[in-house]
Structures are given as structure tokens and as C-alpha cells.
Chain A
Amino acid sequence: MREFNYYRAGSVRDAAKRLAAGGNAMLLAGGMTLLPALKMRFNQPSELIDLAGINELKGIKLSRKGAHIGAATTHVEVAGNVELRAAVPVLSQVAESIGDPQVRNRGTLGGSVANNDPAADYPAAALGLGATIITNKRKISADNFFVGMFETALNAGEVVTEVLFPLPQRAGYAKFPNPATRYALVGVCVAQFKSGVRVAVTGAGSSVHRLEDFEEALERDFSPGALEGIPVSAANLNDDMHASAEYRAQLVGVMARRAVAMALD
């Protein structure tokens, strides 16, 4: 870690102002990705703007539009919220599949989506459920938000304040953890809405993405069997020591079928 200035923001407005003030400032949410990166000296911000003290970023509430979750809400808060679990159990499942207890007690929803790690769990949930990412400036649909590896539609100075998840009729998230990190080697979120089916996969490629073939098949027949035989191309999938691209392609099919089974369970 190198020396940096630490600033505890009192409000979203305060944080945004500070962020815009120049220098190489970064927002600190739970820090579960940023702090290890600082220790490894991968990032060298001039200032960290801590969002932990901003109450308006916290909390979970349900409305007719769906589940509104504040950006600074920790994974353990999402996993443990009884009303949320009843309304959209898949979100609790996703939250409790992240990392370990220490990570779940620190890591936040906003931090996860803003970081857009290609193997993170929340991006799959956000894209699979067709969430809306709300910032201090605008509302961005998940389809437009996750742009590429560690890349989002966020502009400089923009702060994620809330994520709104529509409530599906049913949904499931099946995750195959990387044996070393427990990030998703492949994670598939399947959600059925009146308007159609959404399938999002994380871990497999350079960024979270949707599987249109799977969505069409599941719209015709929402069952694991509907996905049998649909080929998954290994062409653009990640290939590393933990999983070859072909193996990941296999896991995409298996995890998608298991996610459907979970949704039906």
C-alpha cells in the first residue's frame, strides 16, 4: 500500500463533489476488491472517499416496482433480509454465495456492480433480473450498464446509489465456484417474468452477458430439459489454469439447467 488521503464522505453529494475535485481519488465501499489491490500496489489513488458513513446509501425496501437495495448494503444484509428472501429468494441466494463471512460482512452491492469483476455474482443477478442501476445522475438498465471486463457505463464522478431489481415469477442462481477463490468459475442466473425469460452468465467470459439461445428455449418450455442439446460455443470463453474454455462451456449448460431446476424447486 502507498500513502493516500482518507476522506469520509457525509452524503452522496459530498462524495461526488470530492470525487470531482481532481486528483486521482477513488470511492471506497466495502473495499473487498480495492483494498487487496492497494496492498498489491495495483492501484495508487491519491485519495479514498469512504462511503460507509452515508445513510442514504443503505437499506432494503420493497415496492410494486421491485426490490430497492441501497448501494452500500452489505451482502450479509441482503442475505439475511426476511422480506426480501420471501419476495425474491434468488437475491438472497446470490448474496450468500459471495466470498466468505468476512467478505459478506464488508462487501456491498454497489461496490460489486460498479467494479464489474467478470467473475462476480451480483452482475449476473442484476443482468439476469433486468435490474436498473440508479446513480446520483441517472438510471441505467443492466443491459446497458455492464460494458466489459471491469468496465461499466458509469462516468467519472458518478456514484451508484441504489439498484432496483424487478420481481420475477421465479428465478434461480447456480454457481460453480472457482476452487481457489470461490468467485464464479461459471454462474448462471435464470429468471422468468411475465414478459419473458432472462438468462445471464458470469465468470465464463470477459464480462457478464446474456444467453439468447437459452432464453428462447426457456420461453418455450421453462424446464432444465429444454436446454439439453443447445450448444455453447467455447470460442469467446475464458481459458485459464482452473478451467479451459471447453470446460467452461460445459459448465454454462450444466449451471443453467441447475438454475432452472432451482427456480422450479
Chain B
Amino acid sequence: MSGGMGIGASAPRSEDRRFITGRGRYVDDINLRSQQYAWFVRSPHPHAELRGIDAGQALGMPGVTAVLTGADLEADGIGPLPVAWGITSVDGSPAVEPEFPALATGRVRYVGNPVAVVIAETRAAARDAAEAVNVHYEELDSVSNAVAAMEEGAPRIHEAAEGNLCFNWEWLPSVMAPDAKANTEKALKEAAHLVSLELVNNRLVPNAMEPRASLADFNSATGQLTLYTTSQNPHVNRLLLCTATLRMPEHKVRVVAPDVGGGFGSKIYHYAEELAVCWASRRLGVPVKWTAERSESFLGDAQGRDHLTRVELALDAEARFTALRVDTIANLGSYVSTFGAAIPTVFYAPMLAGVYKTPNIYVTVKGVFTNTTPTDAYRGAGRPEACYLIERIVDEAAAQLGMDPAEIRRRNFIQPDEFPYQSPVGQLYDSGEFEGCLDLAMEINGYAGFDERRKQSEARGRLRGRGMSFYIEACGAAPSQAAGQLGARAGLYEVATVRVHPTGVVQVMTGTHSHGQSHETTFAQIVADRLGVDFSNVEIVHGDTGEVPFGMGTYASRSLAVGGSALVKALDKVVDKGRKIAAHLLEAAAGDIEFGDGQFRVAGTDRQVAFGDVALAAYVPHNYPLQELEPGLEETSFFDPENFTFPSGCYICEVEVDPETGVVEIRDFAAADDFGNIINPMVVEGQVHGGLAQGIGQALMEHCRYTPEGQLLTGSYMDYCMPRADDLPSFKVATRCTPTSFNPLGVKGCGEAGAIGAPPAIINAVLDALRPLGVRHIDMPATPNAVWWAIEAARSGE
């Protein structure tokens, strides 16, 4: 009845017809009558006092409507960009959250910091005029590196932040581990083996295929504002616009996120540009559009990662982990972005147990301001950073002890009968079979044949290495109350409305947003499966606050686990009501009605009524229990999960290194993931491929670099190295399933896995290849230049 497209089918994507025929509708495709264009004047300096803005010449240029500055913004009472998650320092003080105005007032603090916005009749006119805006800057000393920013005498970026420290945080989930610090220190002292590493987690630029864009349309007659914007979470943007920045009542603001071409986290936030066009449209009474050029995306989209971490692992004589100490410096950039303080803290430290039974873990994180673009969540958001250091140091321990990397992991795994497992860093893991996953990865990799392959590589003058990683991550953000205790300033439930039309076709309004995740397909499969209606008779509506009641959007691999669960709950309500209607139609008791394959049936009989007939009865209630039941068939559910979900997986990577050139080539990549139940295996495989590609990018190619003062060096694809198809191997992917008990679908989430698990597997493989030459360490990205230098340094005994 589901048209063969129920749960578990690799249904072809409903979205693809419009995407591959060029009929997608993105923000920049939308044009409104009398629309004008915004172009931002941005700071060319990493740090400077704003001494004056002279827009006289610009205002006199043809087609120019207005030049607006931070002073106008202040005068109109527009609030600063909000921080949605508060963090508390060790000493109990809140993190420093400096006001982040959409247009700078007083000072600019990073290259690209918006200073003014020109509104004009054409994009070219706006751009020409922006170049004619004369901004008087008085340059200040500046700093881009977090360690340098903490040094005495470093330029102070915000008055309130002494030593440029936003927060000095430690992770003590007090109920679980009140003595974590003392116990960890004791275990480190008593260790039979102690391994330590200093690791860089390189800063990344998100690079969604579609640059950000916003089109605001204020109707002065109705007082209604409609914002079309590239967002992963339109309701959140509306909430922040209404409560924090523009301060309008919610019923007067509609936010539409139509087709969106990738996000990876970078389209979660409430950005300066989207606020500025809303404000400009309200002020000027015309629709205002802004579309980023790629260069602006490099400067303006919140960036990812940028950690420096010292990590120590204590082991006993049997190579069992006894303690882990982590000390991280996180570069937050020039301001605290929406979730900028939460990502390197509460999305990071609670994952530092990994898949191992390490009893004592102590984590400190310093969040540091620098004269760079703010950082925030980027695919994986805190979990890749956690996984990287665990899986690097576990491998380092294996190397130092001369153990097989698989064996040291087996010895320390949490066992299947220990779930639910309470980790010492505060997470309650749902399920997993780590040895089974490891065995599966080894099988598809052909683990036993490695020595032979290594010999073949050597015969061709190449060094072959194999690396392994085992990730676990937290998806499905989040239980609202737990998140609230950790500083979240919003709830993190999800919402679904199921509207059954009179003929039995179904529309679902979901608060999640698909910008590559295929919700229109997978959510429809859930409906088809649960209601027994044909897949083609289901439509998924998302991305419009005018159509969807509420929602928190898509990030942190939450859509299916939380949004899909809300959908299931709403579907259950529909079936419950349908059962009552059917009972009336069949003259039976509701308790005797079974539902399956699209039929309501009196148990043990052949008396049945089809779902579509029940729907019709609900809308044409001639024969209907109107005394007990309202007509219509439409239900809404809010689902607030009781916990995160915890996908896990084992990745094995084989590389060949050309010692003459330092080129690393991935020869084999095996991924064995446990995502719990799977709705659409093809979509999941696609998500894994994409995540792996981004993980490979981070490990071998991508690196957002600044000068020490904060000029962006990698401001275009001429210097920022994105992976291309021919940089990637053919992936071998497989899945195992231990369903989660924390949601009704038993699903965990798959969106970020590849980006989390791939980097350590690759770097472990590179080091495995290079150890015979004496190379002990290499940072990401392991570019040809970096690898060649590592080999040279080892050869010359440095």
C-alpha cells in the first residue's frame, strides 16, 4: 500500500526532478516588484576604530536609494545579533558576550565586518556606490591566533574580555563525577603508560554550494514582513528577529527558507545581512535583496573548528585506559556567534569518552576572541574535534605500545550488555555493538590482506599506511530541559502537523528543513509506511513559518530523530482518530479496530474500511459520531526527546604516500556505521559519502588561514582547497543496526558521521605510512607540502 516506498526502501528522491531540471527555487530566484539591492561596505582591516563614514558621494550616484550605518541602526532601536547559548566559566561568571551589531559602531573587529549597507536600484549600482563610501579607519593592533591572543600584551579586542578570554570553562558533570579533576590527575600520576599529544583542529570554511541570500519584503499597509532567506531553521530566525533584533510581533513576520543549497551549519545563524535587509525594507518601504558573492561567503559565513588541544591518556599495564585529560583552546573569532560558545564546550566535552570505558575524564576549554570571522557549528560541531583527539591518541598509544590498533580498541570498548551506558562525561549512551562494527569494517576493508598490499605499494615506490577510527556522536538535539540546564536559550523539540485531505492524500508540515537531506522523500516514506497510503500521495511541506506551525530546524543530525518522531506521534494521533471514525462506520467498538495496510478492520473479521474512506467521512460527516468527535482529520505533535541518540561507527582508511612529492592518495576507505533503524538506505549512503568527503577535505586539503594580524589568506578557491570528485576514493560502506530506545522510530542520525570519523582515520593512516621513516606527528591538513616537510624533518633528525 505504501507503493513499495515504505520504511527501508531506497525510494528515489522526490526532490530530484526539480533540482536536476533546473526548477529548484532558491532565494536568489525570487524577485519582487520594485525590489532593490543591498551591498555591504565591509572592513578591510582586522581591527580599527571607526572614525567616520562619509556617504555623500555614494548617495549622489545614480540609482542609490540609501546608505545606512550602525548609527542609523542604533537610532532605530535594532538589537545586536543574539547569542543563543550561554556558557559559565569555572569561577561562576558568565561568558563575555559583547554586543554584536549588524553594522559596526565604534570599532571593527574582523576583515569583512559590515560597516554600512548601500541600497540601490541595481546590484551593480549598489556595489559601485559601496566603493564610493568613504570610511575613516584608525587601525589598531590585531591578532588572529588564539594562543597569541591570550599572551600578555596582546591587543585587547573587547573591553570586557581580559586576556581576550570569552570563557574559561571546565566540564564537571557534578552528579556523575564530582571529583573528576582530582581522580584524573591521580590516575595520570599512577599510569603504567602515559601518552600525550598536542593537536590542531584546523579552521574550515563551510562553502555551501549556494551562497547565503536574503530578500526582505515589508508591506507598510499591513505591517507584515516577509523574509526569504537561506536558512536551516526559519522559525528560529523568526524568533530571533522578533525577540532580539528587529523586535516585531511574530504574527507580523513570515520567514521562508525555500530550496536551500547546502548549509553544513553555516545557515543556522541569524546573520547581520539578513537583519539589515529586513530593517532596510521596513525603513524604505521596498523589497530589499542581498545575495552573497563567494568572496563574501569566505569572509562572512561562520567558520568551523579551530582548536588547539593538549591531550593526555593514561593506561594501565594491560593497556586499559584509566584517565583522559583534555585542555583545549578554542578560537571563537571576533564575536560570539549564535552557538559559538556552545560548540567547543557542551557539544564537545560530553563526547570525550568516545566508545571506551575510560573512568576518569577531565576537560578544560578556553574560548578566545581573535580578529577573525566568528566560528560556530560546522558539520559535526564539537564532535569531530572530540573524536579526532580521542582516536588520534588511542592510535598513538597503540603505536607506542606496539599493539594492533584494533586490539587496543577492543580491550577498552563499552560492551553491548552495558547499555544504557552512563559515561563519566555525562552522556547516557543508548546502544551499540562496537566490536561487531569493528569486525564489519575490518571485513569490508580486507584487513588481513594489508601486508600484501603494503608490499605491492612498496614495489611501486609508495608507502602504504592503514588507519582506523571509531567514532560515537550525539545526534538528535535535544532534550529541552537538559539543554536548558547546559545554557540553551531555546527549546529543542520538533513539530509536525499531518493534514489528511478529504480524499486521503496527506500533507505534512514539518519544522525541520531540508537543504540536501532528502526529507521530502524520507518523511513521505514514514507516512506511506504508517498510513498505508501511496508514497506519491504524500507531500512534505517545510521551510515556511506561514505554513508550518513551529519548529527548530535542521542541524546536529536531528531531523529524523526528533522531527521524524514528531511526525510519528502526529500520525499516531491521526490513526487513533481514524480508528474512532472507523468504529462508528463499522458499528464496532474502537478497541476492536485494528489498523494496517491502509485498512481499518474489525479484529478477527473481514469487515474493514479504507483509510481514504475514513478521511472522506471526517470531512463529509453525514454518518459520523459528531457528539463525540470533531470533523476533520488533522493532527499536530510536538516531540521533545528524552535523550540524544548515539550513532557510532568504525572507519578504516588505507593511503599511499609518494615519498618524493608528499602526495597522500586514499586507496581504500571502509565505513561501517550504526545509525539505528534506516528509513532510506540510498539517502543514508549519500549522507555518508558527503560526510566522508568533508572529512577527507579537512584531513588532507582544507585550511582557512589568516596572517598573524587577521587578513584572510584563503579568501577564494585559488587558495582554499576544496575536495573534488577525483580526490575521493570509491567508498565501501556498510551498516549495522542497534536501534535507539530514545525515539519511536529507533533512528539515530547519519548526517555528520563521515565528517566526524574520517579525519582521524586518515591521519592515523598517513602516520602509519610514515612511521618507518621516523615521522611521529603531522597536523591537518596533511598537504603534499606538509608531508614532504615532515619526511625531510625526520630524515634530518629534527
Residues of A at under 8 Å CB distance from B? Answer: 1-3, 40, 176, 179-181, 241-244, 247, 250-251, 254
Contact = CB atoms under 8 A, between A and B. Distances in A.
Contacts of A3: 124
B701 A179 contact: yes
B789 A244 contact: yes
A131 to B, nearest CB: 28
Interface string B764-790: 000000000000000000011100110
B720 interface: yes
Contacts of B49: none
A241 B713 contact: yes
19 contacts: A2-B128, A3-B124, A40-B295, A179-B783, A180-B718, A181-B718, A241-B714, A241-B719, A242-B721, A242-B783, A242-B785, A244-B785, A244-B789, A247-B662, A247-B784, A247-B785, A250-B661, A251-B661, A254-B661
Summarize B's interface: helix, strand, loop or mixed: loop
A99 to B, nearest CB: 12
B660 interface: yes
A243 B717 contact: no
A179 B721 contact: yes
Given A176-B784, A180-B717, A250-B661, 5 more contacts: A176-B661, A241-B713, A241-B719, A242-B785, A244-B789
A2 B789 CA distance: 43
Contact of B788 (A40, A180, A241, A247): A247
A118 B718 CA distance: 14
Contact of B789 (A247, A251, A254): A247
Given A180-B718, A241-B719, A250 B783 contact: no
Central interface residue in B124, B295, B785, B788, by most chain A CB within 10 Å:
B785
A254 B660 contact: yes
Contacts of A247: 662, 784-785, 788-789
Interface in B698-713: 701, 705, 713
Interface of B: 124, 128, 295, 660-662, 701, 705, 713-714, 717-722, 783-785, 788-789
A180 B661 contact: no
A201 to B, nearest CB: 15
A3 B123 CA distance: 12
A105 to B, nearest CB: 17
B39 to A, nearest CB: 12
A161 to B, nearest CB: 30
Q: A-B pairs with the 5 shortest C-beta distances?
A: A180-B721, A179-B721, A254-B660, A243-B785, A247-B785
Contacts of B713: 241
Contacts of B128: 2
A46 to B, nearest CB: 16
Nearest to A255: B661
Nearest to B131: A41
A243 B720 CA distance: 14
B81 to A, nearest CB: 28
Central interface residue in B662, B717, B722, B784, by most chain A CB within 10 Å:
B784
Contacts of A179: 701, 721, 783-784
Nearest to B723: A179
B708 to A, nearest CB: 14
Nearest to B713: A241
A153 B661 CA distance: 34
Contacts of B719: 180, 241-242
Contacts of A242: 719, 721, 783, 785
A40 B716 CA distance: 11
A3 B714 CA distance: 28
Contacts of B721: 179-180, 242
A186 to B, nearest CB: 9
A241 B661 contact: no
A124 B142 CA distance: 42
Given A243-B785, A244-B785, A250 B660 contact: yes
Contacts of B705: 241
Given A2-B128, A3-B124, A241-B705, A180 B785 contact: no
Contacts of A241: 705, 713-714, 719
B242 to A, nearest CB: 37
